[in-house]
Amino acid sequence: MDYLNEIQKQAVNEYNNGLIVSASPGTGKTKTLVARANKKLTNLPKHKKLALITYTNAAADEIASRLDYKENDVFVGTIHRFCLEYILRPFSWIYKWDKPKIASYSDFKEFLEINKLSTIQLEDLNKIKKNLDGSLIIPTEWLHKIPFEELSRIYYDFLKERKLIDFNEILFRSYIIISKNLFTAKSVSNIFMEISVDEFQDTNIFQYEILKKIKNNGKTSFFIVGDEKQKIYSFAGALNETFTIAKKDFGYEILDLNYTYRSTEKIVTGYSKLFSDHPILINSSKYKDIPFDIRFHQTKKDDNNLYIKQIIDSLIKAKAQVGNIAILTTSWFDAYNIGSYLREYFNIIGLGALPHSNISNTVFAILKTLSRYSVDSSIRNLKIIKRNIELLILEKNIDFNDVKEIVFATNKLISQFQKININTGLKESLLQYQNIISLIFKIDVPEVDEILTIVNDDEASNWNFKKYIETLSGINGITINTIHQAKGLEYDFVILNGINENRIPYQRCVDHIKYIYEELTDDSIQNGRTLLYVGMSRAKIGLFILHNWKPSMFINQIKL
C-alpha cells in the first residue's frame, strides 16, 4: 500500500466496524474506496459479498475496472440496481407485486399519447414521486392545465396496468419492503460483509432509510465516502447534512482526507475561497507550482462560442491534448449549443457531438460501450459491455440465469455489431443494431426508436456508421457537458461557461418581459456555491471562467 498516504491507509486498514470519509476534491476518494474493497476481498468469508454503491453507472464501471475480484464476490452499481437485485426481485412476492420491469421511453410516450397530454414532457413525469408514507410529493411549481394530482393518478394506473415501474418507484417499493418486513433487511445484511457508498452527500431520504435499515438489522459494516461541499443534487432530494446525520445514526467517526493530488495551487486556492470554513488542504499535486492564473472573461451572446473556440485554439497551439480539455456549463441546452458549433472545427464528445440530443437508457449505454470497444478493444471495455448487458437483463426481466448465457450473449453481440458495414448510413445502421439486440435477447427495443425519432434528418445524411461510433466512443475528443454530469471527472483544462447572475446561484424568471427573478434564498445560494465548487475543482492545470455582463455573485469572492 505504498501508493496510499497515511490517512488513506488508516481508512483502508482500520475502522473495521465502519467509517465515514470526507474527501475534498482530488484527495483520492475513489483510490481509497477501491483499496479498502480490495483489502476486504483478501479476507472475504465464504458466502459473503461486498457491495459498492455508486451514484452513476459510469462511476460503477470505473470502480469495477479497478477491482481485483471474482464475479460472485462483489456487487458494483447504483442504488437502483442494488434495490432491484437484492430487494425488489427477491421480495416483491410479499405484496404480490409482479417482477419489476422498468418503464422505457416508448412506454412514457405511449402514456402521453393515449391520454392526449401533448404539453407534458418526460421530465414532468419524473416529478411524480412519493413521500416515505406513500403520499404524493407536490411540486412547488406546476404550470400545466391538468392538475398534478390527476396526472399522477392516471400515470400510476398506467404503470400498474402495464406491470411497469419507474426509477422513483424502485426506491419507494424497496423502502416499503425493507422497512415493514425486517427479515428482508436481515436477509440483505447476511449477504454483505461490507457496503461502501460513494457520493454519499447526494443521498436522498429513501436511499438513506434503506441503508440504515440494513445497518440496524445485521452485522454489515458501511464505508461511507463523499464531500458535503460537492452536494449538487438537492433538486433530486439530496438530504442536508448527511454526514452529521449518519455519524449519529450509524455510530461512525468521520475521517478527513486532507492531501490533494489534482490541481495547481492557484486552482485549489480559488475554489477554497467559496467556503469560509473550507478545510486546509495539503497540495501534493505534480501540477502544484504551475503559474497558470484562473482566467476570467466577459463574453456576449454573439461572440461566446467564438471565444471558446479561440481558447481551444490557443491551448492546442500550446500542445494541450484535446482529450484533456473540457467545456462545462450550467445547462444541457448551452452545452448542446456550444457542441453543435464546435464540432465543425474539433473532434467533440458529449453534448452537441452527435446529430441528436443526449439519451439516457441502457440500450444506448450498450451502444456507447460497443462503440468504445470498437475503437479500444481492452479488457476494461469488454467488462463494461458485460456489465451493461447484465443491467439490461435486470431491467427487462430477461430470462438469462446462467453466467455462460451472458458470456455467450456478450460475445455474440460484439461479433454481430462488428459486422455492420462502417459505410452504412446512420439510420440504417441504428436499425441493424436494434435488430441485433432484439434477436439476441428476444425483446422489443423501443429505445432505438427514441434515437431515430430525435435524429436531425438534415444532418443524418452526413453521418455514416464509422463516424457515429468514433464520436460515440468518447475517445480523444474535447468534452462538452454540464457541471452535474462532470462530477467525479478531471481534465487538464476546464472552461466554465455561463457563470452568470441568475445562473449560479439559479434564480427562476417570474416575469420574462421585465426580467424579474425570484428572490435568492440561503438554500439557492448554497446550491450555487457547491455547483461552482464542483465545476472549478475539475481542472488540473488551467481554468477559464466565462460570464456575461452580469457575473455570478461568487466571481468577486474567487478573485479576492
Does the pLDDT at position 125 exceed 70? yes
Separation in Å, CA 534 to CA 25, 243, 300, 379, 554: 8, 18, 25, 31, 13
Segment 354-372, tens digit of pLDDT: 888 778 889 999 999 999 9
Residue-level length of the chain: 560
* Three-class secondary structure assignment of 88-99: HHHHHHHHCCCC
pLDDT, the chain, mean = 93
pLDDT of amino acid 2: 56
Binding residues: 23-30
Helices (H) and strands (E) in the chain, counts: 24, 16
CA–CA distance, 477 with 502 (Å, rounded to integer): 31
CA–CA distance, 297 with 496 (Å, rounded to integer): 10
Binding residues for ATP: 23-30
Domains within the chain, CATH numbers bracketed: 6-89+174-257 (3.40.50.300), 103-164 (no CATH), 265-350+475-559 (3.40.50.300), 362-473 (no CATH)
Strand-pair partners of 547: 298
Mean pLDDT of 436-453: 92
Mean pLDDT of 45-66: 92
Does the pLDDT at position 401 exceed 80? no
In the chain, the amino acid numbered 198 is D
CA–CA distance, 79 with 198 (Å, rounded to integer): 10
Give pTM, 2 decimals: 0.92
Long-range contacts (CB closer than 8 Å, 24 or more residues apart) made by 444-448 = 444/106, 445/363, 446/104, 446/105, 446/106, 446/107, 447/104, 447/105, 447/106, 447/359, 447/361, 447/362, 447/363, 447/364, 448/363
Mean pLDDT of 322-337: 94
pLDDT of amino acid 113: 94
Residues 6 or more apart in contact with residue 201 via CB below 8 angstroms: 226, 227, 228, 230, 231, 238, 242, 243
Maximum Cα–Cα distance for the chain, whole Å? 67
Segment 1-35, tens digit of pLDDT: 558 999 999 999 999 999 999 999 999 999 999 99
pLDDT of amino acid 122: 87
Predicted confidence band at 453 (pLDDT cuts at 50, 70, 90)? confident
Mean pLDDT of 309-336: 95
pLDDT of amino acid 455: 87
Mean pLDDT of 203-222: 97
CA–CA distance, 222 with 77 (Å, rounded to integer): 16
Separation in Å, CA 262 to CA 271, 325, 491: 13, 15, 9
